[in-house]
Structure 1
């Protein structure tokens, strides 16, 4: 099957907008340079998932996300069966802090070989961070959505909306506001950034969001998502999580040549009652301690003192 493509924006209107910038100052033009360079060819393919994916291995590494993984596994299978591009309805991961929701989203996107972009609503203080600001204002410029889509090599990337329940600001400038249209397929076909007078087609984006408290999310926004509750893994499930976290730290560490690629089994009873985030912090400190003491293998004394006091007996 030939690859299906779409135009993110109308080419003629894009050219007209670029021409209109010639009358503006060089400083004004510079705000749009990267965006328009990326968007000059507005055609993008709709990516299909061609490779075989080991979802079972992912379930071992992220047992708290088994239900989510099974959902994506079914979606990939059906998309392949029907020879269609990969696209899922918006997905919301709800759970306590420290469960690895953000990290999981990035790993999933990498596994599916889709471009990945993320924005945190905990730090986005107004809607112009998402949808740009009008150039009638002195510092008006494009926002996160149009910049990300223009940068993406495909029309159906992954975009993570992190900390969805942390959106703040008044009703007029609340950063959640643009998502009322972005998360609806029909209106998402004609998304308009405040700084760019072009209709942008973002209807093929694969949205995934994270939150700690469902009650703090506006009901109309919540209704646009398929929701999954993420729970703390059991101590037995944490064995796979601990191995996954250590592998991630090992592969990304500057100490790769100095530490063992496998984690000492004796450390796992000290870690299996922690959240995935706490495991990462404890192992990060332990790696530094082992390197400082010229050891390749981590031992219990490398762990933070508080962690060492939480050892359980066995894994049951």
Structure 2
């Protein structure tokens, strides 16, 4: 076992549980030799050839990491008060991997909730906790059908999918991949954009996932899957049955004030110019911010910081918020 340590941006110390091979280099060499032996214009398969050469150059080994012991997740519970149930599930998985030779495995999860409640922010926080970074796959895109599994190499403009890129170009065998707005995936008679997930969300079949571009089996069994949706309509039952489903509520009015305060402090601490502003936000500012969805708060606060700085003040007032931000109702928030 490799016991070297990596330090994540979250300040958690992460031991390398093991070094794991994510593909068989012999298979890649066979594919590459086959390309070299083909007749015709050598430029025809240039992209595929470059992909195989990149795989061999990087090698098959990737770090499979997990937090050291059970990390103190108090700050996450504090930052994400409406994600308590989801965070509890993460802690259970971390506890299982503690004091063992096993790597961290997290059951694929679906986060259900209205737009703006913090689903993507949670995914980034989890990736930061694990230390592997986050890869976003926006299924609302028109090209979403090819994003996960890649497109066949004989097609013009073909390229590998996001899963392949995360494992081959990244450093880790267990990256966090977020399939955003899975309920908005468009499909047609020729291709099911969710088709790749049937195998990828199953641990056994994910161990030999074949990207349609590279056509080389890769081990995607350790990927940490997070999917998000507004509701379950449009998501096939076989996909739902492969995940733990969590309904994430909108923050209560009190939780929204707490989130706004934490966000103010986080932004202030993250910038050198933050020292020019008061350590605590005013009550009126928090009241106005609490009417916004969490993902809108950051934008509003950045505008407010800028306006206060232009006016030479250390305290942010509600008038510093963007026009219209303070007039929003609490639609979507729990009372």
TM-score, normalised to structure 2, is: 0.83
Higher mean displacement: 287-296 or 177-186 = 287-296
Aligned residue among 161, 186, 197 for 2:215: 197
Aligned to 2:110: 92
Distance 1:263 1:88, change over 3 A: same
Distance 1:115 1:281, change over 3 A: closer
Separation (CA, whole Å) in 2 of partners of 1:311 and 1:95: 18
- Shift in Å at residue 59 of structure 1? 0.9
Higher mean displacement: 26-35 or 217-226 = 26-35
- Give the conservation status (yes or no) of the 8 Å contact 1:115–1:152: no
SS in 1 for 2:82: helix
- Give the conservation status (yes or no) of the 8 Å contact 2:76–2:125: no
TM-score, normalised to structure 1, is: 0.88
SS in 2 for 1:227: strand
Aligned residue among 19, 32, 37 for 1:5: 19
Are 2:97 and 1:79 aligned? Answer: yes
Are 2:79 and 1:61 aligned? Answer: yes
Separation (CA, whole Å) in 1 of partners of 2:174 and 2:299: 33
Higher mean displacement: 240-249 or 213-222 = 240-249
- Shift in Å at residue 150 of structure 1? 0.8
- Give the conservation status (yes or no) of the 8 Å contact 2:174–2:223: yes
Gaps of 5+ in 2: 3-16
Aligned to 1:158: 176
- Give the conservation status (yes or no) of the 8 Å contact 2:110–2:228: yes
Higher mean displacement: 15-24 or 205-214 = 15-24
Aligned residue among 33, 50, 54 for 1:33: 50
Aligned residue among 297, 303, 315 for 2:315: 297
Aligned residue among 236, 239, 246 for 1:221: 239
- Shift in Å at residue 166 of structure 1? 0.8
- Give the conservation status (yes or no) of the 8 Å contact 1:48–1:85: yes
Aligned to 1:237: 255
Gaps of 5+ in 1: none
1:154-194 deviations in Å (ceiling 9; x for gaps) = 21111111111110021432321111111111211111111
Separation (CA, whole Å) in 2 of partners of 1:14 and 1:308: 57
Separation (CA, whole Å) in 1 of partners of 2:214 and 2:122: 33
Are 2:191 and 1:177 aligned? Answer: no
Separation (CA, whole Å) in 1 of partners of 2:54 and 2:282: 49
Distance 1:97 1:197, change over 3 A: same
SS in 1 for 2:148: helix
- Shift in Å at residue 217 of structure 1? 1.3
Separation (CA, whole Å) in 2 of partners of 1:310 and 1:135: 49
SS in 2 for 1:297: coil
Distance 1:261 1:53, change over 3 A: farther
- Give the conservation status (yes or no) of the 8 Å contact 1:258–1:296: yes
- Shift in Å at residue 79 of structure 1? 1.0
Higher mean displacement: 13-22 or 244-253 = 244-253
Distance 1:211 1:36, change over 3 A: farther
- Give the conservation status (yes or no) of the 8 Å contact 1:126–1:173: no
- Shift in Å at residue 16 of structure 1? 2.1
- Give the conservation status (yes or no) of the 8 Å contact 2:182–2:235: yes
1:177-232 deviations in Å (ceiling 9; x for gaps) = 11111111121111111111211110111101111111221211111110111111
Higher mean displacement: 19-28 or 69-78 = 19-28
Aligned to 2:14: none
Aligned residues: 313
